[in-house]
Amino acid sequence: MKSISHVISTVFQPLLMPTYGIMLLFVYTYFGVIYRHQFWQIVSPVILFSFAIPAILIYILFRIGIVSDLSLKIRRQRIYPYLITFLSYTVMIIFYHRMYMPRWFMMIMVASVVIMVIAILITLLWKISAHMFGIGGLIGGAMAVSYFVERSNPYYMFMGLFIIAGLVGTSRLILKRHTLPQVIAGFMLGFLVSFVFVWLGTQS
What pLDDT does 72 receive? 75
What pLDDT does 135 receive? 97
**Is residue 1 pLDDT above 80, yes or no?**
no
pLDDT band at 131 (very low <50, low <70, confident <90, very high): very high
**DSSP one-letter code for 77:** G
| DSSP percent split of the chain into helix, strand, coil, nearest 5 | 80, 0, 20
DSSP one-letter string for 49-108? IIIIHHHHHHHHHHHTTSSS-TT--SGGGGHHHHHHHHHHHHHHHHHHHHTT--HHHHHH
pLDDT tens digits, 47-90 = 999 999 999 999 999 989 888 877 777 778 888 888 999 999 99
